[in-house]
Each structure stands twice: as structure tokens, then as C-alpha cells.
Amino acid sequence: MELMKTMALAAGITAGAGMALAQGIDDPTRAEYYDAFKDRTVAYVPVAMGFDLTEGWAMGLRDALEPLGVNFEIRDPNWSTSAGAQAITSLIDEKPDVMVVHNPDVQSYARLLKKAEDAGIHVIQVNMRSSYSTAAFIGADYIGMGEQIGERLVEVCAPANGGSGKVAITQGVLTAAASAYQMKGINTVLEQHPEIQLVSNQAADWDATKARNIAATVIQQHPDLCAIAGFWDVMDVGTAAAIKDSGKDVYLLTQGGGNQSACDGLEDGTYDEVVVYSVPGQARDMADMIKQLFQLNPEAGTMKTTLFTPLDFLTKANMKPGSCWSLPGQ
């Protein structure tokens, strides 16, 4: 009898709970989630707007944050390091909740980023870090990328594999993290392969015309050049033009954020291989980090995190639909 009473009571409780669930229940975290974004401002300081990387990050951040009510601002220094420093200085006085910064080199903004954190502003660095670590760096592991590029140069150009052993590198800005860290990785590999001769290692300052002139001279000096590794696909349009003008069969390995222009370049033979770090993926990682900062509210400067972006080595043979992304209207 007691067992039957217990079973009946349990059944009644279950039925009552079922009726309550059928009518819906509140999510206890929902209000806190949306409240965390009220009256928040994120300020974005790229090296410049108007090209795939910075436009893609801005698009991803805006799409993720503005629907939550976050104010998203852009301060465009238009390739001027001094203008970028002034923008950061002004923002320190204005005190946005988060600054997203794309560093032109490892030193120019370092003290300012520390000053921003000391002022209570969270700082996220994207793609190219400074020598000062902030709440988060989101971008490629450039040392690891350099190691993989070095290995690809050995595979393509080693005399044992039919290559001449001669390779060239076209960097961006020598003091930029994308150049300095990457060369560390490349050199680590090439030092183990004396059969590979680095005949040229020059900086084109992210400029396609400079890259074209550098490549033309190197190919003229070394007509048996096997490969050129360039540090940005937009810049290496110039490198590709010099290779085409020379009529030589020089393997061009470049890199970038995976915009559709990279896949188009693989398809039409502008590039032989492109190392891709996904700009949309980096934008998602930044937005997620910002959401966590707003919900957890740590003291600025107390977090030091790194989120490395996965890399894809794309060729015409292995790329597929969805390998690259496009900006609106592209």
C-alpha cells in the first residue's frame, strides 16, 4: 500500500512538472547575458581599412556585436603608424571597453597598449602582435607557419627532388610580427638543409610594385631560381607578375586571409600555393573573446591569452567550394 502511495505521489509530481515544462520555463542566464552588452563600446584600430583582412575583421565584428547593442567604432590610420598611435592615445582618453588593434610592427604601439590596459581598457591584438602581451592575441602562429613554409621550400626545391635548391623570400615590413616571427621558423628549417640556398631575403613593405621589382631583379640574377615565398598574397600579385614577365617556371608560395581573390589566383595560376589563415574565423574568435570579457568582467591587464588560427595550405588541386570567403559585392 505504501509503495502504491509513493508511486502515485511521484506520478503526480512528474505530471505537474510536465505541465510546467509544457508552458515553458525561464532561462536563468538569458537576462544576464544580454545585460552584459548594454552601453558597451568596442573600438577597432587596423593598420588601414580598404583591403580584405581589415574589412573582413570589421564585417565579422560588426555582424556579431551590433545586434547585441554594442557600439562598434573604427579609427582608420590609413597606413600611418603615427596616426595609429594618435588614435590609440585618443581612445585611452575616451575609454572604450575594448580596443582591437592590428599592429604595424612589434614595437610602435607596445607602450600605448600597456597604457590602455592600465586605464582599464581590454586590448585584443589581431594577426600581428606587439612585444607587449594583452588580454588576447588572435592570429596565426607565424613561427609555426614559417617552419611549415620552410619544409615546403625543401620539398619543392631540394636537388634530390629535381629542384635547383635556390629560393627567395619577399617579406612585408621587417619589424612586423608576421615577418620577424615567420623568419624565425623558416630559418630553423633551412639551417638543417644546406642543400637549400636562400639567394634573396628582402622586404617589399606590403607593396605589390616593390615586390614585383624585387622578384624581377632576383630572377634576372638567378635564372635557375626554384621558388619565391612571399608574405602576403595582395603584395605577391606583383611577385607573380614578375615571374610571368620572366617566362621562368618559379614556384610562388604566398599567404593571406583566404579571400576569394586567393582562390581565384590559384585557379588562374597567379599563385602555386597559398597558406590561409581564415579572416572570418579570426573575427568569430575576437567576437567570442569580447563576449567573454563583457560577461566575466576581469580587471584589465590580468588576462594574457593566445588563440592561434588554424592554417590551410591551398593549391589548385586541393581547394574546394568554401575554401575562400568574399566581401559583400566582391
Q: What is the mean pLDDT of the chain?
A: 94
Q: Is the alpha carbon torsion for 321, 326, 329, 330 positive or negative?
A: negative
For 100-127, how does the pLDDT look when each residue is reduced to its tens digit (9 = 90+)? 999 999 999 999 999 999 999 999 999 9
Length of the chain in terms of residues written: 330
Give the residues of the chain that fall short of pLDDT 70.
1-21
Largest pairwise CA distance in the chain: 100
**Residues linked to residue 73 through DSSP beta bridges, in sequence order:** 43
Q: Give the side-chain half-sphere CA count within 13 A for 23.
A: 5
pLDDT at 330: 74
- pTM (two decimals): 0.91
Residue 157 C-alpha cell reads as 626545391
pLDDT at 327: 93
pLDDT at 13: 58
Per-residue CA distances from 54 to 5, 61, 181, 199, 254 (Å): 68, 11, 21, 33, 18
Asked if 228 and 242 count as a contact pair (C-beta separation under 8 A), the reply is: no
Q: Percentages helix, strand, coil for the chain, rounded to the nearest 5?
A: 45, 20, 35
Alpha-carbon span 328 to 330, nearest angstrom: 6
Please state, as a whole number, how many other Cβ atoms lie within 10 Å of the Cβ of residue 221. Answer: 11
Nearest to 59 by CA among 222, 209, 284, 217: 284
pLDDT at 4: 58
Residue 243 C-alpha cell reads as 615571374
- Structural domains for the chain: 30-139+279-308 (3.40.50.2300), 142-277 (3.40.50.2300)
